[in-house]
């Protein structure tokens, strides 16, 4: 177990890179089991505790869809969980009411999390995909003065 931010089976395969088995090996009735073993109700287990099957999209990655990526700055974050509730790709990793970081295997770089982040400056900002996290953090803007509204 590699921990929460990157678990053993998450995002291990590009979409389309799965083994193209023959007619005799495809599942009966096109049925897809989400887990390898009976795990019970998934709502009672954290992702890192689940026996995901290779058929679960958790094991695939869409990282290549991204051209820009959100970078997370823990120092400013207030753990409000706005980013968590509105991420369309289940890519904000939160545990015990804390925002821990971004699941870069499943994040598509939409930027919604950045828009809904309420801190000043934001605790999430979009950077070029190639930008190293340290460099991004080094470039973090200062607190913006509130513009006077008339």
Partner 1 sequence: MAITSIKNLKEFSTNNERLEGAHLLCPGCAHSMIVRELLNCTDDNLVVATNTGCLEVSTAVYPYTSWDTSWIHIGFENAATAAAGAEAMYKARKRKGTLKDPDAPVKFVAFGGDGSTYDIGFQWLSGAVERGHDFTYICLDNENYANTGGQRSSATPTGAHTSTAQAGRVSYGKKQKKKDMVAIMAAHGAPYVAQLSPNKWKSMAKGFQKALETEGPCFINTVSACTTEWKFDPKDTIHVTDLATDSLMFPIYEIINGTELNILYRPKNIIPVEEYLAAQGRYRHLFKPENRHVIDMIQKEVNEKWEYLQRREEARV
Partner 2 sequence: MAEKMELNEIEVWDGNHAAAQALRQAQVDVVAAYPITPSTPIVEGYGAFMANGYIDGEFVMVESEHAAMSGCVGASAAGGRVATATSSQGFMLMIEVLYQASGMRLPIVLNVVNRAVASPLNVRGDHGDMYAGRDSGWIQLDAFNAQEVYDLNLCAFKIGEDINVRLPVMVHQDGFTTSHTAQNIRPLSDDEAYAFVGDFKPVDEMLDFSKAVTYGAQTEEDWHYEHKAKQHRALMDSYTVIDRVFEEFEKKTGREYKRLETYMMDDAEVAIVALGATVETCILAAKQLREEEGIKAGVVAPRCIRPFPFNEMRDVLANVKAVATLDHSAPMGAMGMLYNEVAGAMVSTQDRPLITNFIYGLGGRDFSINEAKRIFREQKGHADVGYITTEIQQFSGLRGPKLGFYEMKRS
- Name the residues that contact ligand SF4, by CB under 6 A: 70, 77-83, 87, 89, 91-92, 99, 102, 107-113, 116-117, 119, 123-124
CA 73 to CA 83: how far, in whole Å?
A: 13
Judged by beta carbon distances under 5 to 8 A according to partner kind, the member of partner 1, ligand SF4, partner 2, none in contact with residue 45 is partner 1
Find the binding residues for partner 2 in span 53-82 (CB under 8 A).
Answer: 55
Write down the residue that tokens 């982040």 correspond to.
Answer: 117
Q: Is 41 in the site for partner 2 (CB under 8 A)?
A: yes
Position among 55, 73, 121, 137 found at the interface with partner 1 (CB under 8 A)? 55
Q: Which CA distances in Å does 150 have to 44, 107, 118, 144?
A: 51, 39, 22, 18
Show contacts of 130-134: CB within 8 Å, 24+ apart.
Answer: 131/69, 131/71, 133/71
Residues that bind partner 2 (CB under 8 A): 20-24, 26, 28-35, 37-42, 55
């Amino acid at each position: 177990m590699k921990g929460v931010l990157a678990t053993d089976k998450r995002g291990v395969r590009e979409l389309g890179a799965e083994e193209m088995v023959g007619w005799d090996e495809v599942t009966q009735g096109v049925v897809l089991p989400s887990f390898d073993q009976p795990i019970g109700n998934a709502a009672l287990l954290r992702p890192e505790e689940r026996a995901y099957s290779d058929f679960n999209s958790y094991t695939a990655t869409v990282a290549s869809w991204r051209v820009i990526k959100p970078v997370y700055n823990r120092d400013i974050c207030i753990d409000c969980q706005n980013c968590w509730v509105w991420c369309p790709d289940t890519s904000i990793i939160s545990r015990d009411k804390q925002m821990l970081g971004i699941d870069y295997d499943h994040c598509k770089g939409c930027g919604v999390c950045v828009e809904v982040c309420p801190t000043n400056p934001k605790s999430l900002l979009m950077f070029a995909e190639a930008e190293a996290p340290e460099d991004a953090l080094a470039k973090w803007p200062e607190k913006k003065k509130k513009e006077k509204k008339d």
